[in-house]
Chain A
Amino acid sequence: MIELKNTVKKFDSYTALNGVDLKIEKGTAFGLLGSNGAGKSTILRLLSGIYQQESGEVLIDGQPVYDNVSAKQKVFFINDETVQFGSFTLKGLKNYYKTYYPNFSEELFESLRKRINLPLNKKINTFSKGMKRQAIVIIALACKTDYLLLDEAFDGLDPTMRIIVKKMLVDAMLDRQLTTIISSHNLKEINEVCDTAALLHNGKIVFSREIDSLKGEVHKIQAVFPKNADGTPAAYLKEDFAATGLEILHFERSQSIYYIIAKGDEDTVRAAFAPKEPLLLEMIPLTLEEIFIYELEVLGYDSNDISGK
């Protein structure tokens, strides 16, 4: 299990993580979401022992990670760079990592390599960006670590390769309870691969829970209410709904049609709307991307504000 307890990480005067608490169970496919500079890569580098936290704890299976060989041996980190392996051939890179990871499986490496048909003896700097990604992913999987950390994992992969790589990851998760932590801006892929996700913003965790429950807890509501006695459209404010205890993430009204994003289970939402006797109450489940946007909007990270609208 991975745990971050009240973790603070600073880069000079800039606080990248500000008291992060996070728990990731073994065997989880965990997605790290967040705005740019939210601290996703920082968390991954803390978990792989590259960075040392200023305060708090970063634990893998109960052991601190930084400068701890046995904890680091359980983790393989793939960052968003591909240039570092340029001087190696795939065979050379495989042998390099094989030295450090005793569980390295030659058979698995060979079978994965054959699946994506990567040349063994060509210099990696002659590979395309996608091929470089594939190369390091199959090496990472062949190392058979307990934890695999991927920063922008699918960056540079073509759609077919994305599917193949995702399949490889899923197979490993199913075969040996591999815990995967993926940081990506591509929420669709997180949605497809991960069962749990955390949203980071300004160095803090906004939420961390299972994606399915997350989707069930946030709703996009389209509602129409009866007109007033004088024939004017009903004019409810955001506060009118919030007063019922509902957490409103987004509120928009166009004539008599209301577009509301609200948190809570379906029954609670319906119960909150019932007193106003809506003529139409349609609840549409949100995509992860929409949840991401609306959650951040609440925190002031509004695309309209940023774009100056």
Chain B
Amino acid sequence: MTATTSAASKNFFGKRFVTDLLENKKVLIINALLELLGLPVVSILAIVACYINKLEEQDTNFYVDLFVIIVPFICVAVGAIVLSILLGFVIALFHFNYLYRKSIVDMHYSLPLSNTQRFFADYLSGLAIYIVPVIIAVILSFIILGIGGVFVDMSEFWKVMPYIVKAGTVVIVGMMMIYTISIFSIVFCGSTFEAIFSILAVNTLIPATIGCVWLAIVTTSSYGMVGESIFYSPVFTATSPFGATVFFFLYLFEGVDQSMNDIGSYYDSMYIRWMIVAVVMTVLYLVASFLLYKLRKAESVSKPYVYKAFFYAVGAASVFCIMSLLIASSINIISAAISGIIICGVGWFIMEVIARRGFKRFWTAPLGFAAVVCGVFLVCGICKVTDGFGAPRHVPASISVESVSINVNDNSILPYEVSEVSFRDKDVIKAVTAFNKDAVNRHFHFDDYEYTSIGRIDSEYDRYDHQSVEITYQTIYGSTVKRDYDVMSFMLSDVAEAILCSDEYAEMAADEIAVAAVNATNSGQYIGKYSAVKSAKKGGRLEIINKLGQSEGSVSLGYDSLVKLHDAYMKDIKSMTPEQLRDGNVCCMFGQYWVLDSFDNTLDFLAERDLSVGSIEKSDIYHGGYNSGDDDIWLADNVDLINSPRFYSQPKSFFGKSNEGRYSRYYYDGYTNYNDDDRYSEIDAITSAFPNESGRGYYSSDYVSSEVRLDDTLLILINKATPIIINEKPIAIIHYKNTSTLYIRDTVENRELLEKYYHDN
């Protein structure tokens, strides 16, 4: 008996699936037509574009305005795709119409089907009507492109294809989410108006609520929080169709572009995580829909809301979003709250009248609204009291971090390209999390730290130290944590050391040197990244500069030599110890990437090609100076020596609790008398690893007190000066033109040399 029933049950599921397809065949045909107007048309346009480009390359006189030809077709194709995507709402409404149409509920519920069979047969048949035409269109597009590829050279197009395919899968998962979330919305309702309304409400309120919670966190406790990071979080992008749309466009226009240029695209690396979260969320919506579907009763059809809690959830979310937006965008919180209550109250009562179909037991409506408003204020209050639910205090444990990227907006600490690397090196991750904890502690335990206020700031000897740091953690749990701090450079000492000694930095720096060399030989044609260099099989031209930024010569390198240089430099960085980094002498540089005296492989490579990396001579500096008349004494107006510099920063502004917004930390009014202001504090050490000094103010001729006498002692000091100083206070700074800043470390020998120089001059 059981076996018979089971067989019959399976049978009916399939039959329901088929009858549903047949019943909705018109929608299927419309969707298929829209899909055929979409991707296949785009594929044909891609072939045409490739063909015309090739013709233009072959014949310079040939020119066709592709834009004018393609745009109308693109508009039709995109319009068709958008309409096809929006059909998801319609298909869901059609397939589950018996949940909100009283006249047909008996017909569907009395059929010999279990609730489970009915739900999944309806769900899957609707999904098939929605998605199968997309899959057919994709297959057809591949066939068209394949055939086109036989006749037209589409090699450039195929390079982009993997990213387009990934973007396409984002669309398909997004479409599945649209369809599933629509069903999830319909299950709550028993009438047509509410079914349509709830689809709109759920699709809007899920991303809006997440966004507004984030807004509340950022506005109530902004320390280190980055507002825009919501767009990087799967919590926002993978939980709703709107979020998926945001992710799709960011992936398509930013991620694909970055990936094509071999830049470690955040969106590309996030793709797998996004897919997992989006699929899990879609499954969760499906499971929730099914459970609610099973729980709801046939007689609930014709009630506005089958689950009254849904109405209050929608109302509460709407009130929360409106109130948080008003409060966040207003200077006066009280007036914003009052106007928010009035606006929300009117909206609430209108919705109550619609939901109740009149004024039945209407006295409960104000009570509901009052409860919701109290709830919203409670959430905001908790957010405020807990410093944004503790979010700004949260620093991911280093073991839970899969990778970290760090952007220090000052290339005296790290080159810009470092910000494009996602570091998986454990030492880097530990250093970054430790730095992050230090920054958080300085804010939340401000009184535990002492900062010595300084009075007068001398423009010649005082150097402002400030680094803006942006950190993005990818955790092993798939979440993304983004932080943004203003700090003093010494706080980044361990981070800089860990990064510069890491294998990932070694690979990145070697790649950059090779790319720069290749680009030096390509007049005007920029080659993006090292993989492009490899595929181009082109050699390059290597320019060697000294630590003052002066050219020491250049050499043409074939492809094999370039690879050899790349590998030698990478090997040297990988084998560099922290001690060698701190104490090493910079022999020469490739662009901004220094070669230390411990870089045996690189130095051997240069020696093999007779490229000298000797010490700096007076004649090197002569370019900007002149002979005083004495053969040994040169006057240089392009060199500045700052003895006993004082470093200062604004820790009270960076970490003080009184500063509520990030931008207030940059506050400066033109009338403030700096000499009386105690916000500046002296700091005992700085960190710098590259010759530019934008973070401590560009070198300015205003700061040069006078011409510098370039005697032998100063020449020795210049040769001993280094751009790399990690958590130390230099005894002097040497500026050369506006290109290089070198530091004289605090050693006995250097002190003696400096004393001698001043004594002699």
* Chain A interface residues toward B at CB < 8 A: 11, 45, 48-52, 67-70, 72-73, 75-77, 79, 81, 83-85, 96, 99-101
- Is B297 in the interface zone, CB < 8 Å from A? yes
Q: Which residue of B lies closest to A79 (CB)?
A: B106
CA distance A99 to B15 in the complex (A): 6
Q: A81-B103, A99-B15 are in contact. List 19 more A-B contacts (CB 8 A).
A: A45-B110, A45-B298, A48-B109, A49-B110, A51-B297, A67-B114, A67-B115, A68-B114, A69-B12, A69-B112, A70-B4, A77-B110, A79-B106, A84-B104, A96-B23, A99-B19, A100-B12, A100-B15, A100-B113
The interface residues of chain A lying within 8 Å CB-to-CB of B103 are 81, 83-84
Q: Which of B4, B12, B110, B112 contacts A50 (CB 8 A)?
A: B110
Question: Known: A69-B8, A70-B4. Contact between A50 and B114, CB under 8 A?
Answer: no
| Contact bitstring B8-21, A, C-beta under 8 A = 1, else 0 | 11001001101100
- Give chain B's interface secondary structure class: helix
Q: Are B107 and A85 in contact (CB under 8 A)?
A: yes
- Is B155 in the interface zone, CB < 8 Å from A? no
Nearest CB in chain A: distance from B11 CB, A: 8
- Is B755 in the interface zone, CB < 8 Å from A? no
Q: Are A69 and B9 in contact (CB under 8 A)?
A: yes
Q: Which residue of A lies closest to B104 (CB)?
A: A84
When A and B form their complex, which 8 residue pairs have the shortest distance between CB atoms, in order from nearest? Answer: A73-B112, A72-B112, A50-B109, A84-B104, A48-B110, A99-B15, A77-B110, A79-B106
A-B contact count (CB 8 A): 67
The interface residues of chain A lying within 8 Å CB-to-CB of B297 are 51-52
- Docked complex: B256-311 residues within 8 A CB-CB of A: 297-299
CA distance A99 to B8 in the complex (A): 12
Nearest CB in chain A: distance from B116 CB, A: 8
Q: Are A49 and B19 in contact (CB under 8 A)?
A: no
Q: Which of B104, B111, B297 has the most CB of A within 10 A?
A: B111
Q: Are A69 and B4 in contact (CB under 8 A)?
A: no
Nearest CB in chain A: distance from B283 CB, A: 23
The interface residues of chain B lying within 8 Å CB-to-CB of A70 are 4-5, 8, 112
CA distance A48 to B112 in the complex (A): 9
Q: Are B106 and A69 in contact (CB under 8 A)?
A: no
CA distance A52 to B110 in the complex (A): 12
Q: Are A49 and B4 in contact (CB under 8 A)?
A: no
Q: Are B112 and A101 in contact (CB under 8 A)?
A: yes
The interface residues of chain B lying within 8 Å CB-to-CB of A67 are 114-115
The interface residues of chain A lying within 8 Å CB-to-CB of B112 are 69-70, 72-73, 100-101
The interface residues of chain B lying within 8 Å CB-to-CB of A51 are 297-299
Q: Are B18 and A99 in contact (CB under 8 A)?
A: yes
Question: Known: A11-B299, A51-B297, A52-B297. Contact between A77 and B106, CB under 8 A?
Answer: yes
Nearest CB in chain A: distance from B98 CB, A: 9
CA distance A194 to B110 in the complex (A): 23
CA distance A12 to B105 in the complex (A): 18
Q: Which residue of B lies closest to A145 (CB)?
A: B112
Nearest CB in chain A: distance from B376 CB, A: 29
Q: Are B110 and A69 in contact (CB under 8 A)?
A: no
Q: Are B105 and A50 in contact (CB under 8 A)?
A: yes
Q: Which of B15, B16, B18, B113 contacts A72 (CB 8 A)?
A: B113
Q: Which of B19, B105, B107 has the most CB of A within 10 A?
A: B107
- Give chain A's interface secondary structure class: mixed
The interface residues of chain B lying within 8 Å CB-to-CB of A83 are 103-104
Q: Which of A48, A76, A101 has the most CB of B within 10 A?
A: A48
- Is B117 in the interface zone, CB < 8 Å from A? yes
Q: Are B8 and A50 in contact (CB under 8 A)?
A: no
CA distance A83 to B105 in the complex (A): 11
The interface residues of chain A lying within 8 Å CB-to-CB of B113 are 69, 72, 100
The interface residues of chain A lying within 8 Å CB-to-CB of B114 are 67-69
Q: Which residue of A lies closest to B111 (CB)?
A: A100
The interface residues of chain A lying within 8 Å CB-to-CB of B16 are 99-100
| Contact bitstring B79-112, A, C-beta under 8 A = 1, else 0 | 0000000000000000000000001111101111
CA distance A81 to B103 in the complex (A): 7
Q: Which of A68, A72, A76 has the most CB of B within 10 A?
A: A72
The interface residues of chain A lying within 8 Å CB-to-CB of B299 are 11, 51
CA distance A81 to B19 in the complex (A): 22
Q: Which of B9, B112, B298, B299 has the most CB of A within 10 A?
A: B112
Q: Which of A50, A73, A75 has the most CB of B within 10 A?
A: A50
CA distance A101 to B113 in the complex (A): 11
CA distance A299 to B506 in the complex (A): 95
CA distance A2 to B115 in the complex (A): 22
Q: Which residue of A lies closest to B98 (CB)?
A: A84
CB<8 Å pairs between A and B, sample of 24: A48-B110, A49-B109, A49-B110, A50-B105, A67-B114, A68-B114, A69-B5, A69-B9, A70-B4, A70-B8, A70-B112, A72-B110, A72-B113, A77-B106, A77-B110, A79-B107, A81-B103, A84-B104, A84-B106, A85-B107, A99-B16, A99-B19, A100-B12, A100-B113
Q: Which of B16, B105, B115, B299 has the most CB of A within 10 A?
A: B299
CA distance A76 to B107 in the complex (A): 10
The interface residues of chain A lying within 8 Å CB-to-CB of B4 are 70
The interface residues of chain A lying within 8 Å CB-to-CB of B110 are 45, 48-50, 72, 75-77
- Docked complex: B1-47 residues within 8 A CB-CB of A: 4-5, 8-9, 12, 15-16, 18-19, 23
Q: Which residue of A lies closest to B1 (CB)?
A: A70
Nearest CB in chain A: distance from B119 CB, A: 11
Q: Are A72 and B298 in contact (CB under 8 A)?
A: no
Nearest CB in chain A: distance from B333 CB, A: 42
Q: Are A69 and B117 in contact (CB under 8 A)?
A: yes
Nearest CB in chain B: distance from A223 CB, A: 49
CA distance A98 to B297 in the complex (A): 26
Q: Are B19 and A96 in contact (CB under 8 A)?
A: yes
CA distance A51 to B115 in the complex (A): 12
The interface residues of chain B lying within 8 Å CB-to-CB of A75 are 110
The interface residues of chain B lying within 8 Å CB-to-CB of A50 are 105-106, 109-110, 298
The interface residues of chain B lying within 8 Å CB-to-CB of A52 are 297
Nearest CB in chain A: distance from B102 CB, A: 8
CA distance A67 to B118 in the complex (A): 10
Nearest CB in chain B: distance from A98 CB, A: 10
The interface residues of chain B lying within 8 Å CB-to-CB of A68 are 114
CA distance A75 to B117 in the complex (A): 18
CA distance A96 to B20 in the complex (A): 10
Nearest CB in chain A: distance from B31 CB, A: 19
CA distance A70 to B105 in the complex (A): 20
CA distance A99 to B11 in the complex (A): 10
The interface residues of chain A lying within 8 Å CB-to-CB of B117 are 69
Q: Which of A11, A73, A81, A96 contacts B106 (CB 8 A)?
A: A81
Nearest CB in chain B: distance from A79 CB, A: 4
Nearest CB in chain A: distance from B239 CB, A: 32
CA distance A282 to B286 in the complex (A): 71
Question: Known: A11-B299, A67-B114. Contact between A73 and B8, CB under 8 A?
Answer: yes
Nearest CB in chain A: distance from B9 CB, A: 5
The interface residues of chain B lying within 8 Å CB-to-CB of A77 are 106, 110
The interface residues of chain A lying within 8 Å CB-to-CB of B298 are 45, 50-51
The interface residues of chain B lying within 8 Å CB-to-CB of A101 are 112
CA distance A179 to B112 in the complex (A): 18
Nearest CB in chain B: distance from A29 CB, A: 20
